[in-house]
Amino acid sequence: MPRRGIRICKVDPGSSAQVAGLSPGDEILAVNGHPVPDELALRFRLAEESVELEVLKAGGRKERIEADLTDGRSFGVEVEDFRTRTCNNACPFCFINQLPPGVRGSLKIKDDDYRLSFLHGNYITLTNLSGDELDRIIEQALTPLYVSVHATDPQLRTRIMGRRKVDDLAGKLRKLVGGDIRIHAQVVLMPLVNDGEHLSRTIFDLYSYFPGVNSVAIVPLGLSNYGPARERFTPVTPRFCCEVIRQVAPWQRQFRRETGRGFAYLADEFYIQGGVPIPGTGYYDDFAQIEDGIGMVRHFLNEFASHLGRGHRLRPRLQGTMATGRLFYSFLQECAARLNRKLGSHLTVVEVENRFMGRDITVAGLVAGRDFVEALAGRPLGDFVVIPNDAVSQVEGVFVDDMSPADLARRLGRPVFSSGRTMRDFFELLGRL
């Protein structure tokens, strides 16, 4: 029989939970009669002055426990992580199906969980959501959500998602937007599949929900050297990128005239691969989809220029190496040149080709440890090596191929440092080196 509640892992001393008699190992089944299947539901239901908990004690006995939440104490429990809901689509371009042997385990999880979308900005398809789950999202205000749409034409979307039956995307969007849930949508653009007139229909269909659908990220199809996708799909080319930029630009001007926002935003890769300058800051509005590669370069350059002029205590004449993927190489090279002029330093930037997944995978976050070794071994590296923060899992502490930065340092014979999560982290690192 499936469990109905959520298990307590830790109870803080002096907390409301301890005063009420809760202990590690207890399972909270319901709050004020409402089931609590995960921590998000528990937080929502605890937003009352007093609550009645239905609890399954560690010994197997059910109890009803009153808890007073008006005395200034925190509720004070840590609960188990929820089990991630996985995707049941069969998208032929799915990047997880393109992963090579030896990739770290966490990358193989096909999540399609609205809770992770709310908490971390993960993209979901909406194909796996029940009516009850849509109601829960609205009731508990789990907003914003990030949704992979790819196409609004029902038949085309069904083929793209690898499904047998059409899902009611329009009905789900209407319900969510009508319930004050804000949506940030995504379109993975595939040449000869959902581009051209299909892209036009998708963008303007989604625009009809504005501001509920608040933005659309258009990102290019990625193809590794593995899996059937490379044989089934046409690769993205510089010419294609330029055509997409020309197609989308007048829409963006129209949207900005009508709403004050660009609404549909192209990933940095379109501009870089197309040889077109990265747009200015105003293009990206509030950078709502930066984690999807929309404005990441512009934001980095802005932050770099700002911190370079703040008077950080940087040691002069630094000698070291910074390594990154092909997509970002030229921008980091220019930043290093500015640091060298300012400090009289010798910071070298090395472009790392992704041979682990394939040379067409150009983002720094998917560069493998072995790729860093191949690009850097035997070079004059100076006193240290700085690698992109995104190249290392923040949970597991390893590259995509399970090599650790410590392993890389041993292979190179130099200390290896992560660039840090923010520009402040990066400049503070340079101050310590």
CATH number of the domain within which 175 lies: 3.80.30.10
**Residue 41 falls inside a structural domain:** yes
The 10s digit of each residue's pLDDT in 278-310 is 999 999 999 999 999 999 999 999 999 999 988
Geometric angle at alpha carbon 274, from 261 and 357, rounded to 5° = 105
Percent of the chain that is helix, strand, coil (3-state, to 5): 40, 20, 45
Residues 111 and 230 in one domain: yes
Q: Are 212 and 176 in contact (CB under 8 A)?
A: yes
The 10s digit of each residue's pLDDT in 99-149 is 999 898 888 888 999 999 999 999 999 998 999 999 999 999 999 999 999
Residues 105 and 55 in one domain: no
Q: Residue 359 in 3-state DSSP? A: coil
**Residue 84 falls inside a structural domain:** no
**Residue 259 falls inside a structural domain:** yes
The 10s digit of each residue's pLDDT in 139-162 is 999 999 999 999 999 999 999 999
Residues 307 and 171 in one domain: no
Residues 212 and 347 in one domain: no
**Residue 89 falls inside a structural domain:** no
Last residue of a domain, one of 273, 294, 315: 294
Residues 253 and 132 in one domain: yes
Residues 278 and 398 in one domain: no
Q: How confident is the model at residue 31 (pLDDT cuts 50, 70, 90)?
A: very high
Total domains in the fold of the chain = 3
Using a cut of 0.75, tell me whether the model's pTM lies above it. Answer: yes
**Residue 1 falls inside a structural domain:** no
What's the CATH code of the domain at 393? 3.40.50
**Residue 110 falls inside a structural domain:** yes
pLDDT, averaged across the chain: 93
Residues 282 and 414 in one domain: no
Residues 251 and 320 in one domain: no
- Full domain range(s) for residue 349: 301-432
Residue 2 has pLDDT above 70, yes or no: no
Residues 290 and 334 in one domain: no
Residue 400 has a pLDDT of 95
Last residue of a domain, one of 294, 327, 360: 294
Closest CA to 146 of 114, 180, 184: 184
Residue 182 has pLDDT above 80, yes or no: yes
Residues 327 and 228 in one domain: no
**Residue 86 falls inside a structural domain:** no
Residue 17 has a pLDDT of 87
Residues 244 and 133 in one domain: yes
Name the DSSP letter for residue 223: -
Q: Are 5 and 29 in contact (CB under 8 A)?
A: yes
The 10s digit of each residue's pLDDT in 354-403 is 999 999 999 999 999 999 999 999 999 999 999 999 999 988 999 999 99
CA torsion sign, 98 to 102 to 107 to 109? positive
**What is the rounded distance in angstroms from the CA atom of residue 51 to the CA atom of residue 73?**
14
**Residue 267 falls inside a structural domain:** yes
